[in-house]
Amino acid sequence: MLRSFMRLLPLFLLAWLFSLTAQAAPFEDSMAQRTQACTVCHGKDGRAGPDGYYPRLAGKPAGYLYNQLLNFRDGRRHYGLMAGLVAPLSDAYLLEIAQYFSALDVSYPAPVASTAPAQVLARGRTLALNGDASQKLPACTSCHGAALTGAAPHVPGLLGLPRDYLNAQLGAWQTRQRQAMAPDCMAHIAGQLSSADVSALAHWLSSQPVPAKAKPLAVLAPDSPALRCGKAAWPTPTASTGSTRAVPSTPSPIQGQPAALTTGAYLARVGNCMSCHTAQGGAPYAGGRGIDTPFGTVFAGNLTPDPNTGLGRWSADDFWRAMHEGRSRDGHLLYPAFPYTNFTQLSRTDADALFGFLKTLAPVSQANTPHALRWPYSTQTALAAWRALYFKPGAFQADSSRSAEWNRGAYLVRGLGHCSACHTPRNALGASQNSAELGGSMMPLQNWYAPSLRNPQEAGLNEANQAHRLTLLAGGVSVQGAVTGPMAEVVQNSTQHWSRQDLDAMAVFLKSVAASPSPSPQSAPQSARPSTPTSSSAAVTQGAKLYDKHCVQCHGAQGAGVGQAYPALAGNSAVTLRNTANLVQTVLYGGFAPATRDNPRPFGMPPYVLELKDQDTAALLTFIRQAWGNQAPAVTELEVNRARNLRP
Ligand code: HEC
Ligand code: HEC
Ligand code: HEC
Ligand code: HEC
Ligand code: HEC
């Protein structure tokens, strides 16, 4: 009865009703709260998902869990949903997450009786406890501990794991789908196992009870062969914060506050050279990351001073020519996936400072991957033709009618900061359309929309929203929103390192390019709002119900969120953007805000792609776009479906 009554209610009344009925748990700032994006799959307290497909995390050695998080992030283990979640987190925070789950004490489920014949179980037991000398296979116990319960810091136990999981992991090592830190002991061991032996081990191990109060050994025996197996260097606590801080697994030369950076190191942050010139899990600036374009993939090369594979033999003039003219040392033309169409505005002094910084990096010998471009785009002739149309080396033209601050902002946004590389629409040949500078654009081949930096209702700056947008650029979150997707990487590697003066100068410039300021949707009076297609009341009721079930505990009954932990959805431009690509992505795939100096331990949003059908997702998103004073058109099932199919 209540339900049919509610269906008749207008939306705002409905939202109000929910605000009275929803019982959101009070917010407590805890690791359990911060890691809800993990426990939706891994079960409460990391006890494993109900069917065992999502592995247990509770009680496993912290070093082991930490290594796995780095493995997913750096591409040695593969599960897209997890890799996406952990990508913007710092090593220090991943270690804290690992330590949190490691310390949780949760009982194990009873073992599953095996249906395998006795001789299969006997074979599994022999391999586990004694190994097989004829195959030079050591006993699993030699590393995993006499009781097979593992050992700190980095060897996991083998009991209490489902048979399917054991089979899958040993199989993944055999096919190199799973790798551990080098030296990868398990790759060697799994490589020696026949498929019958893998199956025997999985049968026997999964049928053994976990001893009561089983814990990993506190330390590895001094003669344990597992000491030889790869492990990450743990981040070390620093005096300044009292907690652990980001220490990259590969040494990075550019730690510290912006003030402590040399001019060259600072400019490298502003230009975000590292993001493109670092491969997943690779050494910083050593190149190898592929930039996908509609014409194929272009790989950014090695910027370290290695003489054979990097910039070791380059002169300052060579470097200037690359940045200013888009030509390599030997004169060949470079692809504009390298944003020299922006960098051409760099001053010679700044280019020299940048080059000076790159020279101080530790040389890494790593040849670049050859580009994979389709003909005719792969030819220098095609590139020369493109450049004749769309590129002229130029210098930054200061506008003397504007303040020095405005000019600094323009130099940063148009030049080194290359905001237009994503925020300006491109034509069919991939050239930025200067007439629509910063007017918002879909990113090529990615289902992300870089919103307009001119329109304050999208991502443009005005007096009312500038504090919020600058907080986002400096720290990744504000009470009014969070950065997501490709922008999270820009904030993490670039804008969080900008000095206050440069952020302010950028704001002065961006406010001046903003189209005539229009009031934010929140402050707009009812009558002035554009009329929006309204959705059927059934869909709205459905969306409201789903919101109450899945979202209310974090984003609140009024969509007001909780401080900087959970962003507000009411009055959030990311929710009401005309282009819904980002909104759909965020809800399907979840994510953490980037770990930054201002916000080193971000909260996470769970992925819903496995749980919500397209139709439900559309109804839910339509609801949040039209509730609490938000006024935006409905989201269709088709838009959701497209996002699901576009993500690899
Ligand atoms: C969408 C479901 C999902 C979410 C969300 C998720 N995981 Fe996972 N996780 C998995 C699956 C599936 C595996 C096993 C993948 C495999 O077979 O290699 C896994 C494996 C792991 C492992 C390795 C376990 C082991 O014993 O080797 C760790 C550690 C882990 N996840 C931590 C996390 C953390 C921390 C988060 C939150 C930041 C998280 N996961 C979020 C599904 C998820
Ligand atoms: C030389 C030492 C060594 C020996 C011997 C060894 N392991 Fe391992 N094993 C490791 C290490 C180290 C890891 C952690 C790898 C990582 O960080 O991913 C591991 C991880 C595993 C995992 C992954 C567990 C999980 O939760 O995902 C399985 C399964 C496994 N070993 C099975 C075996 C079996 C079965 C044997 C015996 C046939 C064996 N291991 C022998 C060192 C060893
Ligand atoms: C958006 C991604 C991106 C960013 C940001 C970026 N680069 Fe590159 N860079 C590339 C790509 C891709 C290439 C390869 C172009 C080619 O080979 O045609 C490249 C090539 C270069 C080259 C020429 C190397 C050679 O062997 O010819 C230099 C020098 C360079 N980048 C320096 C920088 C510096 C310095 C920065 C930061 C100020 C930077 N890049 C930022 C993508 C990027
Ligand atoms: C466990 C808490 C939690 C739950 C449950 C949750 N979210 Fe979130 N949500 C977050 C956090 C944390 C962020 C910021 C990190 C990010 O943007 O990835 C966020 C971000 C968002 C954003 C992007 C906001 C922006 O400014 O870019 C949207 C939209 C969103 N959530 C919608 C939803 C919807 C719809 C649901 C229910 C299906 C939901 N959330 C459930 C925690 C949660
Ligand atoms: C690699 C592509 C890329 C580059 C480079 C880039 N952006 Fe973005 N930006 C995006 C995308 C995609 C979004 C939408 C996702 C989001 O809102 O977080 C975005 C969002 C934003 C937002 C809105 C954040 C919010 O949620 O309100 C602002 C402001 C912004 N960018 C400013 C800048 C500035 C200033 C620069 C240059 C210093 C820049 N961006 C460079 C891709 C990029």
396 pLDDT exceeds 50?
yes
323 pLDDT exceeds 60?
yes
Residue with CA closest to ligand 4 atom 34: 551
Q: What percent of the chain has pLDDT over 70?
A: 89
Residue with CA closest to ligand 1 atom 35: 38
Could you tell which of 261, 327, 338, 492 is best to mutate to test the pocket of ligand 3, judged by most ligand atoms within 8 Å of the CB?
A: 338
Would you state the pLDDT for residue 537? 82
Extract the tokens encoding 20: 């009275």
Would you state the pLDDT for residue 6? 38
Residue with CA closest to ligand 1 atom 2: 41
With a Cβ cut-off of 6 Å, ligand 5 is lined by: 413, 417-419, 421-423, 443, 448, 450-451, 453, 459, 469, 472, 481, 483-487, 490, 495, 506, 573-574, 582
Extract the tokens encoding 74: 């750096």
Do 567 and 472 contact (CB within 8 A), yes or no?
no
Half-sphere exposure for 536 (CA within 13 Å, toward CB): 6
The Cα 295–Cα 286 span in angstroms is 24
Would you state the pLDDT for residue 517? 45
> Residue 538 — pLDDT band, cuts 50, 70, 90?
confident
Closest of 277, 365, 370, 356 to residue 314, by C-alpha: 356
The Cα 109–Cα 160 span in angstroms is 7
Do 267 and 353 contact (CB within 8 A), yes or no?
yes
Extract the tokens encoding 91: 């090593």
- Torsional sign, CA 534, 538, 540, 543: negative
33 pLDDT exceeds 80?
yes
pLDDT mean over 192-205: 97
Would you state the pLDDT for residue 111? 87
> Residue 132 — pLDDT band, cuts 50, 70, 90?
very high
558 pLDDT exceeds 70?
yes
Residues 6+ apart with CB under 8 A from 192: 135, 136, 137
> Residue 646 — pLDDT band, cuts 50, 70, 90?
confident
529 pLDDT exceeds 80?
no
417 pLDDT exceeds 80?
yes
Residue with CA closest to ligand 2 atom 31: 186
Q: How far is the CA of 605 from the centre of ligand 1 (A)?
A: 15
Query: What is the CATH T-level fold of the domain 33-218, as seen in this structure?
Result: Cytochrome Bc1 Complex; Chain D, domain 2 (1.10.760)
Domain boundaries, the chain: 13-25+536-646, 33-218, 258-360+385-390, 404-513
Would you state the pLDDT for residue 25? 61
Fold agreement (13-25+536-646, 33-218): yes
Would you state the pLDDT for residue 539? 83
Q: What is the pLDDT of residues 438-482, one digit of tens each?
A: 999 999 888 999 999 999 999 999 999 999 999 999 999 999 999
397 pLDDT exceeds 50?
yes
Atom of ligand 5 nearest to the CA of 443: 12
Would you state the pLDDT for residue 381? 96
Q: How far is the CA of 632 from the centre of ligand 5 (A)?
A: 21
Nearest ligand, CA 56: 1
CA 365 to chain centroid:
27
pLDDT mean over 231-249: 50
Could you tell which of 292, 343, 447, 490 is best to mutate to test the pocket of ligand 5, judged by most ligand atoms within 8 Å of the CB?
A: 490
> Residue 187 — pLDDT band, cuts 50, 70, 90?
very high
Q: With the CA atoms of 228, 234, 239 and 245 taken in that order, what torsion angle do they form, in degrees rounded to the nearest 10?
A: 160
Q: Which long-range contacts does 314-320 make (Cβ < 8 Å, 24+ apart)?
A: 314/355, 316/351, 316/352, 316/355, 319/351, 319/354, 319/355, 319/358, 320/348, 320/351, 320/352, 320/355
pLDDT mean over 493-508: 98
Residue with CA closest to ligand 5 atom 18: 483
| Nearest-5° Cα angle at 372, 367 to 378 | 110
Q: What is the pLDDT of residues 270-303, one digit of tens each?
A: 999 999 999 999 999 999 999 999 999 999 999 9
Would you state the pLDDT for residue 248? 33
What amino acid is encoded at 548 in this protein? D
The Cα 410–Cα 511 span in angstroms is 11
Q: Which CATH architecture has domain 13-25+536-646?
A: Orthogonal Bundle (1.10)
pLDDT mean over 536-555: 93
Mean pLDDT computed over every residue of the chain: 89
For the ranges 196-210, 345-359, 429-443, 603-617, the lowest mean pLDDT is seen at 429-443
526 pLDDT exceeds 50?
no
524 pLDDT exceeds 80?
no
pLDDT mean over 218-246: 71
- Per-residue burial over 563-579, b if 16 or more Cβ lie within 10 Å, else e, is ebbbbbbbbbbbbbbeb
Q: How far is the CA of 621 from the centre of ligand 4 (A)?
A: 12
533 pLDDT exceeds 80?
no
Closest of 296, 282, 384 to residue 333, by C-alpha: 384
The Cα 117–Cα 125 span in angstroms is 13
Q: What percent of the chain has pLDDT over 90?
A: 82
Identify which has the larger pLDDT, 125 or 433.
Answer: 125
Quick check: bond before 258 cis, omega within 30?
Answer: no
Identify which has the larger pLDDT, 529 or 366.
Answer: 366
Identify which has the larger pLDDT, 193 or 16.
Answer: 193
Would you state the pLDDT for residue 262? 94
Nearest ligand, CA 32: 4
pLDDT mean over 214-227: 92
Would you state the pLDDT for residue 518? 42
516 pLDDT exceeds 70?
no
